[in-house]
Amino acid sequence: MIDNLNKSQYEAVTSTEGPVLIIAGPGSGKTKTLVERTVYLLSKKNVKPENIFLSTFTEKAASELISRISEKLKENNLNINLSEMYIGTLHSIFRRIIEENIESSTFYDNFKVLDDTEQLFFIYTKISYFKKLSGYNDFFKNIPCRNTWEKSKKILQWLDTLNEYGKNLKDIKTQNPSILFLKEAQQVYKNLLVDNNVIDFSTIQAELLEILVNNKNILDELNEKFRYIMIDEYQDTNNIQEKIIFLLGYKYKNICVVGDDDQAIYRFRGATTKNILKFPKRFDDNKCKHITLDTNYRSQLDIVRLCNTWISMLHWNGYRYEKTMYSTENKSISPTASVIRIGGENESSWKENLYKFIKTLYTTKKITDYSQVAFLFKSVQIQQVKELKKYFEERQIPVYSPRSKDFFEKEEIIITIASLLVYFPQTKYLVFDKVKNRTNEVFFYYQFCLENLKKIIKKDEKFYQWIVEKRKENAKENIETFPNLKTIFYSFLQFDTFKKYLNLDNNLEHEKRETHNLAIFTDILDKYESLTKISQISSENINTYLKYFFMNYIRQLREKRVDEFENKDNFPTGAIPFLTFHQSKGLEFPVVIVDSLYSIPQPQIKTYEDELKNLLNLNDNFEPHDKKPYFDLWRLYYTAFSRAQDLLVLTSIENKNGRKRLPSQTFAPLFYRAPDWQDSKNFELKYLNISPTKESNIKKYLSYSSNITLYEFCPLKYQFIKEFDFKQNKNTDTLYGIFFHKVIEKIHKYIIKHKEIPNELKIKNIVDKIVKTMHTTYQIEFEESSICKIYNSINKYLNFINPSEILASEFKVYSIEDGYILEGIFDLIRKKDNSYELIDFKSGKYSEYFIQSYKKQLALYSYLIKNEYNLPNIKTYLYFEEEENPFFEVKITEKDIENEITNFNLTADKLLNNNFPPKPFDEKCNKCDFRWFCNSRKGEM
Ligand code: SF4
């Protein structure tokens, strides 16, 4: 079963008992080792999936692990339901543990996780709570910030830092006004989060730590559960994560951490190398096994050598696990250099040289796709990088640079914003009031947007007429309500001005950039609705609504700078990726061109905030202060250099004499040691073999309810929603159904946990919390009649329940199919007599109309449960809330299952092959957000 492993990898896979430290150098087969180790635990050691905790750094890496482990299990005919395993990023696993123990949390079910932007706006909109705190003025006297936005950012940074160190200040005794402010701010912030049932990433960690520390029973249970813990990228973990990992693995101590201290690059986010460097010392003498994976399967010998040379240039004084990486035998002899340099006396010759080099690779067919070459920079936002990008694009070399942070400078976004400004005549005095707003930089941005629209709209008479008409209508005094911003945006899509940004038929990912950006804009609008909790614009709130939208929300987002769409699964083919060093972590490319060779280690000046951190013990003082800039710089460039497979190019403008030496003294020796790209003696293109770009082997998850039904309804709508992620308007017709489902789910979970039916008070508690959550998430207030209906439905349903029969609720099952992972979530599984019953709950009455669709869903569920668990006597039911006899048995035969799997495969095949034709436009389109677009295209389709 364990094939193709080298000696160290084999040892890493089979050393399962006790603590293990695996130092895995670049390209050393770390993912493969983790996959084999997990499969070994499941198959050879018969460990149950729920006893394994496996975390990695990104969602993408987690998906890859799941896909590869599933494939491996399938190859070996092992039916193991991986959804029971705790696998994902640390945040996602921590969140799952909180959700499973929600009764011991201060938050309640279905809390929403705020991303960075939402978290900042959350604080910004609640700043008045912080202003009231006694130390507020003192705090900002010592840490000057220009405005409320900056102050919000500062508060956020401090709250995150406190969480990252697992520091709760509630019991701290101090006279220091800044610390007093932070102590109160921490409490105020937590209360605000709880009140709104929202949580941010750093609070997820703090919340879990609190649950573990305060609930011995839960800790004991989890200690028993997590028999095998594996943490990937351990060098980039922070203090609180380490605390939690050690608490969870306390009993069995089968903690295996994997990483490479040479690639520790997240100190600025609170990560500390202490975790990996001190890991063995956390256990009694010699208990921790130390394994080094030092064979590099990725890179050519020259590249491996350069990385070894670079990292050993520093004196690490014990702050590094000494290791030398070795190349594999088949890569040891290359007839030409694999590390070269491309320079240029000035910016223009440097750009030209790079262009010529890439063109040569392409015209000589050394590369067949531009995505085989990646440029890596310290930052992609600096002018020089933007100029290089422009230079390539003007010469028809597409560039993919999602983190350039110029989202608001893109034409499609400028035109959308301008159209919204024109649509509302109110913006004349809310936004374009020169006296009030001209000192605000965004005022000029909006003027710029309008000027651009003016130029474009000349060519689109229809749009011009329409928007002038709307503007007139919206100026009328008797108008009571206005459509929401998303609806207005979707109505723009009927016009040529916007249609040209929707690249729906193009298969080249980089050509879909504009469409992706518009989808991101709908997300921005969606978040604005949840932030303001206003889904309906009325004549009463319109001024506040628009003023806040343009003068605060969009303004701040523009200053914060939004990333363009980033395809997390795969970089688009046909374009050269321009990436930051951090973004390239964990990736590899056939040709890597490393720029930013201007860096030098910058000594850090101690600030008031550093002093404050020292007082609170929040500084990572593990490595000497003066050494940190050196260590960080060396690790960062080591990570960048080691991404290259076949060719590493060092590039820099060459300025040997000026004030600013380029490349810097740090990099000059390395740069000039590499042969120049035109040095034909040492670098001969004909000998160069460049590998193709590796295709991602991450499989998509497909389920009947969220993929197949939508695709079968309308493939085009599927493309908008699932492929581009356009945010829809909420369909209020289905909100009662969601409410009903959530209550039923919660009742089941209660019964499973407590083995009894909840009493009246408990039920009230459940309903109240869900009403509150629904309000936060969907801005809906349920009428009394709907709440009464829910109570009646629950009371009726409870008559049918026997707690001992209930096995699982909201139970996820996967099945690995060719090309995708089939996913099903069961509302309820119960065991009655000798049968296993799968029950799906529907709000409303029995409907013959939908029964065929429900039957298909149940057929797939039967397939999943048979496939994964091999259970005998499976019965399938639908439960209709409004029926007197609510249980309807739906008989599923083997033939039904076979037919349904065939249908599923056919549909999956179409959607995985990007086949998204629209359905005929009919009355079912009336509620669809894309109706304006489709209606206007009727003649074209
Ligand atoms: S309007 Fe109709 S055809 Fe267009 S995406 Fe929506 S459902 Fe499909």
Query: Phi first, then psi: what are they for 792, rounded to 5°?
Result: -60, -45
Q: Which of 656, 687, 718 is the last residue of a domain?
A: 687
Whether 61 and 74 have beta carbons less than 8 Å apart is answered as no
Ligand 1 nearest atom to the CA of residue 934, by list position? 4
844 labeled part of a ligand binding site: no
| Per-residue confidence (pLDDT) for residue 1, from 0 to 100 | 53
In a shared domain, residues 451 and 493: yes
> Is pLDDT at 94 greater than 60 in this prediction?
yes
In a shared domain, residues 540 and 634: no
Angstrom distance (rounded) from CA 269 to CA 80: 36
Atom 4 (ligand 1) nearest CA? 934
Q: Which tens digits make up the pLDDT trace of 641-683?
A: 999 999 999 999 998 776 788 999 999 999 999 999 999 889 9
The token pair at 559 is 């200053």
- pLDDT category, 437, cuts 50, 70, 90? confident
In a shared domain, residues 547 and 443: yes
Residue 503 domain flag: yes
31 labeled part of a ligand binding site: yes
Atom 7 (ligand 1) nearest CA? 925
| Per-residue confidence (pLDDT) for residue 509, from 0 to 100 | 67
319 lines ligand 1 (CB under 6 A): no
Query: Measured in angstroms, how far is the CA atom of residue 932 from the centroid of ligand 1?
Result: 9
888 lines ligand 1 (CB under 6 A): no
Query: Measured in angstroms, how far is the CA atom of residue 909 from the centroid of ligand 1?
Result: 21
In a shared domain, residues 357 and 439: no
In a shared domain, residues 772 and 835: yes
Ligand 1 nearest atom to the CA of residue 714, by list position? 8
Q: What percent of the chain has pLDDT over 70?
A: 97
In a shared domain, residues 132 and 174: yes
Q: Which of 174, 203, 232 is the last residue of a domain?
A: 203
Angstrom distance (rounded) from CA 826 to CA 811: 5
The token pair at 539 is 């004549």
Query: Measured in angstroms, how far is the CA atom of residue 926 from the centroid of ligand 1?
Result: 8
Residue to probe by mutation, ligand 1, list 719, 931, 936, most atoms within 8 Å of CB: 931
| Region of poorest pLDDT, from 275-284, 440-449, 510-519, 715-724 | 510-519
Residue 27 domain flag: yes
24 labeled part of a ligand binding site: yes
> Is pLDDT at 96 greater than 90 in this prediction?
yes
In a shared domain, residues 820 and 877: yes
The mean pLDDT value for 605-631 works out to: 90
Query: Measured in angstroms, how far is the CA atom of residue 545 from the centroid of ligand 1?
Result: 30
- Helix locations, 262-380, DSSP H: 274-277, 301-311, 347-363
499 labeled part of a ligand binding site: no
- pLDDT category, 848, cuts 50, 70, 90? confident
Atom 5 (ligand 1) nearest CA? 717
Structural domain of residue 814, as residue ranges? 701-912
Is the dihedral angle over the CA atoms 185, 187, 188, 191 positive or is it negative? positive
Angstrom distance (rounded) from CA 273 to CA 671: 28
Query: Measured in angstroms, how far is the CA atom of residue 496 from the centroid of ligand 1?
Result: 18
712 lines ligand 1 (CB under 6 A): no
Angstrom distance (rounded) from CA 74 to CA 820: 13
Residue 311 domain flag: no
Q: Which one, of 148, 145, 150, 184, lies nearest residue 608 by Cα? A: 145
Ligand 1 nearest atom to the CA of residue 922, by list position? 2
928 lines ligand 1 (CB under 6 A): yes
Ligand 1 nearest atom to the CA of residue 931, by list position? 1
Q: Which tens digits make up the pLDDT trace of 168-177?
A: 999 898 889 9
717 lines ligand 1 (CB under 6 A): yes
Report which residue type is found at 429: Y
> Is pLDDT at 709 greater than 60 in this prediction?
yes
Look over the chain and give the mean of its residue pLDDT values, rounded to a whole number.
Answer: 91
Query: Measured in angstroms, how far is the CA atom of residue 504 from the centroid of ligand 1?
Result: 13
Residue 919 domain flag: no
In a shared domain, residues 543 and 583: no
Domain with 249 in it: what CATH number?
Answer: 3.40.50.300
Whether 630 and 267 have beta carbons less than 8 Å apart is answered as no
Angstrom distance (rounded) from CA 863 to CA 876: 11
Query: Measured in angstroms, how far is the CA atom of residue 356 from the centroid of ligand 1?
Result: 46
Query: Measured in angstroms, how far is the CA atom of residue 920 from the centroid of ligand 1?
Result: 8
Residue 936 domain flag: no
| Per-residue confidence (pLDDT) for residue 286, from 0 to 100 | 81
Residue to probe by mutation, ligand 1, list 711, 919, 932, most atoms within 8 Å of CB: 919
- Cα→Cα distances 291→31, 260, 280, 286, 295, Å: 15, 12, 11, 13, 12
Based on its alpha-carbon atoms, the radius of gyration of the chain, rounded to whole angstroms, reads 29
What domain count does the chain have? 5
Q: Which of 293, 319, 349 is the last residue of a domain?
A: 293
Query: Measured in angstroms, how far is the CA atom of residue 406 from the centroid of ligand 1?
Result: 31
Query: Measured in angstroms, how far is the CA atom of residue 914 from the centroid of ligand 1?
Result: 17
Query: Measured in angstroms, how far is the CA atom of residue 483 from the centroid of ligand 1?
Result: 20
> Is pLDDT at 2 greater than 70 in this prediction?
no
Angstrom distance (rounded) from CA 488 to CA 474: 12
Strands (E), 31-96: 52-56, 86-89
Ligand 1 nearest atom to the CA of residue 918, by list position? 3
| Region of poorest pLDDT, from 74-83, 148-157, 216-225, 852-861 | 74-83
716 lines ligand 1 (CB under 6 A): yes
Strands (E), 102-219: 112-114, 198-200
30 labeled part of a ligand binding site: yes
| Per-residue confidence (pLDDT) for residue 564, from 0 to 100 | 59
Query: Measured in angstroms, how far is the CA atom of residue 936 from the centroid of ligand 1?
Result: 11
Residue to probe by mutation, ligand 1, list 491, 726, 923, 934, most atoms within 8 Å of CB: 934
29 labeled part of a ligand binding site: yes
Whether 361 and 354 have beta carbons less than 8 Å apart is answered as no
In a shared domain, residues 519 and 463: yes
728 lines ligand 1 (CB under 6 A): no
930 lines ligand 1 (CB under 6 A): yes
Query: Measured in angstroms, how far is the CA atom of residue 705 from the centroid of ligand 1?
Result: 18
Identify which of 2-16, 569-583, 858-872 has the greatest average pLDDT: 2-16
In a shared domain, residues 891 and 791: yes
In a shared domain, residues 344 and 284: no
Residue 210 domain flag: no
| Region of poorest pLDDT, from 88-92, 590-594, 821-825 | 821-825
320 lines ligand 1 (CB under 6 A): no
934 lines ligand 1 (CB under 6 A): yes
Atom 1 (ligand 1) nearest CA? 931
> Is pLDDT at 314 greater than 90 in this prediction?
yes
The mean pLDDT value for 853-858 works out to: 91
Residue to probe by mutation, ligand 1, list 710, 712, 716, most atoms within 8 Å of CB: 716
Residue 937 domain flag: no
331 lines ligand 1 (CB under 6 A): no
Domain with 791 in it: what CATH number?
Answer: 3.90.320
Residue 180 domain flag: yes
504 lines ligand 1 (CB under 6 A): no
Residue to probe by mutation, ligand 1, list 722, 925, 935, most atoms within 8 Å of CB: 925
721 lines ligand 1 (CB under 6 A): no
- pLDDT category, 777, cuts 50, 70, 90? confident
CA 404 to chain centre: 18
Query: Measured in angstroms, how far is the CA atom of residue 849 from the centroid of ligand 1?
Result: 21
In a shared domain, residues 531 and 438: yes
- pLDDT category, 322, cuts 50, 70, 90? very high
- pLDDT category, 80, cuts 50, 70, 90? confident
> Is pLDDT at 331 greater than 70 in this prediction?
no
Strands (E), 595-720: 644-651, 700-703
Query: Measured in angstroms, how far is the CA atom of residue 723 from the centroid of ligand 1?
Result: 15
Residue to probe by mutation, ligand 1, list 719, 720, 722, 921, most atoms within 8 Å of CB: 921
Ligand 1 nearest atom to the CA of residue 925, by list position? 2
172 lines ligand 1 (CB under 6 A): no
The mean pLDDT value for 741-755 works out to: 92
Query: Measured in angstroms, how far is the CA atom of residue 856 from the centroid of ligand 1?
Result: 23
Atom 2 (ligand 1) nearest CA? 925
Long-range contacts of 773-776 (CB under 8 A, 24+ apart): 773/108, 773/109, 773/110, 773/111, 773/197, 773/742, 774/735, 774/738, 774/739, 774/742, 776/112, 776/196, 776/197, 776/198, 776/530
The mean pLDDT value for 769-774 works out to: 87
| Per-residue confidence (pLDDT) for residue 305, from 0 to 100 | 95
| Per-residue confidence (pLDDT) for residue 741, from 0 to 100 | 94
921 lines ligand 1 (CB under 6 A): yes
Ligand 1 nearest atom to the CA of residue 928, by list position? 6
